[in-house]
Amino acid sequence: MRGYAEQSLYQRYRDVRYGEKIGVEDLEDLKKLSILRSQLNGITVKDIMIADFPTVGPEDRIAEALSKMRESRFQEIPIIDGGNYTGMISYGSILKKGSVTPDTKVKNLVRNLPTASFDTEITKIAEHMVANNCRQLAVLNGKKVVGVVSRSGLTRVAVGIKILKDIKVWEVMTTPVESVTDRSLLDDALEVMRRLDVRTVPVIGSDGVPVGIVGMNEIIDNHWKSDSKSFGDFKKSSKAQISIESVYTGAVKTVDWEDTLETAVSVMEEGNFSTLPVVDGRELVGILTEFDIIELISASRERESLFVQISGLDDEDKFYADAMYADIETEMTKISKIYRPESLTIHVSRYNEDGDRKKYSIAAKLFIRGTTINLKEVGWDLVKANNDLMKRMGDQITSLKDSKITFRKRKKILAA
């Protein structure tokens, strides 16, 4: 498993511009940001709502819920009890709970996600999706579910707005990106999904060129059919030893790092994709998902205070959350004296590097004045790694303030 961004043109241009800054030039003007916010909130829930959607009951089996997810491509499905909404069943909940078997009742995995009404602002829906890392939310009228809003529907409609559709892919993509090779095992992909809390992983060939995508559908098709094994037993299963090469979705669609979001979303919509590998030439330099675009929409929301979301903390690590938030508050207070940040999302991953010792990887995305800043920090001590990351972020903002030449101008100079 590797992240491929090290030698690309994108990386070299990015290094000149203080490390990891990605600028959304069209949004740097706060007036334009205000116009974008207004245009986004001019989109109504009815404009993006799906009226035909699957449901399950609390007494249904997880196997039935997974079957409906597979058929509908929904990753969250409303749970209806006596005609009333009681919550959602989610791929994510199933993935994280290793003891789940196909016969487990849906009521044991109810996820209490936020809901929407016809009056909910689009930017608020995006914020809910970011905060809860979900793909679908139920739309309620009283206690009745009348529809579902999804990332894909919101993304498709929002990118019709000129300010958004002309943004370049490199300005919002996630980089570096973790991938698996076509010779990796199915279990390797599942481990990446669990650790990063994602549902799809790019597949690369021996030359580092993207060749496909492996996702939850492939996991389910090749493991969870009619047997009684749980995800927790997957590593013990012979099916965990299946080569990615034999199961991934081939004929991969990619986008160039300089393509527009309008182009990327068009590719997503045409192929019914939620994830696109981003290339510079043929090399994988990042990944663009609907979540990246939803984050951008959420960041445009007008708030009285900074929106901060930390995800990926295991139960034993939540003890450190207060210390992490304290360091975040300290650095964001300093940053706010330079520019007002709109939102900060942090995802924590951990993995065994030395026996029982856990190593942490922290990925952060800060939206500030319409600019996206991606940073990553790795370390054995979670609190220290977070503190180091926040200090780097502060240095980044100072560099951004002191810069007299825009990122794009620098890139053009380098390319000349």
Name residues whose C-beta falls within 8 Å of residue 43's C-beta, 6 or more positions apart in sequence.
122, 157, 158
Of 64, 111, 91, 406, give the one whose Cα is nearest residue 274: 91
Domain with CATH 3.30.160.100 in the chain: 19-40+304-415
Confidence at residue 190, expressed as pLDDT on a 0 to 100 scale:
80
pLDDT level of residue 19 (50, 70, 90 thresholds): very low
Residue of 106 and 250 predicted with greater confidence: 106
Which residue spans within 238-318 are E strands per DSSP? 255-256, 275-280, 283-289, 307-311
Most distant CA pair in the chain: distance in Å? 66
| Residue 7 half-sphere exposure toward CB, CA atoms < 13 A | 4
H/E element, 364? strand 357-368
Token representation of residue 266 = 């068009």
DSSP state of 49: -
Residue of 136 and 253 predicted with greater confidence: 136
Assign a CATH topology to domain 49-151.
CBS-domain (3.10.580)
Confidence at residue 356, expressed as pLDDT on a 0 to 100 scale:
64
19-40+304-415 is classed in which CATH architecture?
2-Layer Sandwich (3.30)
State the Cα–Cα distance between residues 353 and 339, nearest whole angstrom.
38
Contact 49, 26 (CB under 8 A): no
Name residues whose C-beta falls within 8 Å of residue 47's C-beta, 6 or more positions apart in sequence.
157
Domain with CATH 3.10.580.10 in the chain: 49-151, 163-293
Rg (Cα) of the chain, in Å, rounded? 21
Of 370, 172, 362, give the one whose Cα is nearest residue 278: 172
Confidence at residue 25, expressed as pLDDT on a 0 to 100 scale:
45
State the Cα–Cα distance between residues 399 and 403, nearest whole angstrom.
6
For residue 1, pLDDT beyond 50 = no
For residue 404, pLDDT beyond 60 = no
For residue 241, pLDDT beyond 70 = no
State the Cα–Cα distance between residues 277 and 210, nearest whole angstrom.
7
State the Cα–Cα distance between residues 94 and 100, nearest whole angstrom.
7
State the Cα–Cα distance between residues 344 and 178, nearest whole angstrom.
21
Query: pLDDT by residue (tens digit) across 181-240?
Result: 888 888 788 878 877 777 788 888 888 888 888 877 777 666 555 444 555 554 444 445
CATH superfamily, domain 163-293, is CBS-domain (3.10.580.10)
State the Cα–Cα distance between residues 143 and 166, nearest whole angstrom.
40
- Where do runs of H (alpha helix) occur along 23-78? 30-41, 45-48, 62-72
State the Cα–Cα distance between residues 123 and 303, nearest whole angstrom.
11
Rounded mean pLDDT, 141-152: 94
Confidence at residue 269, expressed as pLDDT on a 0 to 100 scale:
85
State the Cα–Cα distance between residues 46 and 66, nearest whole angstrom.
27
- Give backbone dihedrals phi and psi of 121, rounded to 5 degrees, phi first: -70, 145
pTM, full prediction = 0.70
Mean pLDDT computed over every residue of the chain = 78
Of 384, 319, 379, 307, give the one whose Cα is nearest residue 346: 307
Contact 209, 284 (CB under 8 A): yes
Paired residues of 368 in beta bridges: 341, 371
Of 185, 128, 155, 172, give the one whose Cα is nearest residue 292: 172
For residue 277, pLDDT beyond 60 = yes
Whether the CA torsion 204, 205, 211, 213 is positive or negative: it is negative
State the Cα–Cα distance between residues 336 and 343, nearest whole angstrom.
12
For residue 114, pLDDT beyond 90 = yes
Of 133, 190, 137, 134, give the one whose Cα is nearest residue 310: 133
How far separated are the first and last CA of the chain, in Å rounded? 35
State the Cα–Cα distance between residues 275 and 209, nearest whole angstrom.
16
In the chain, DSSP finds a helix count (H) and a strand count (E) of 15, 16
Contact 377, 362 (CB under 8 A): yes
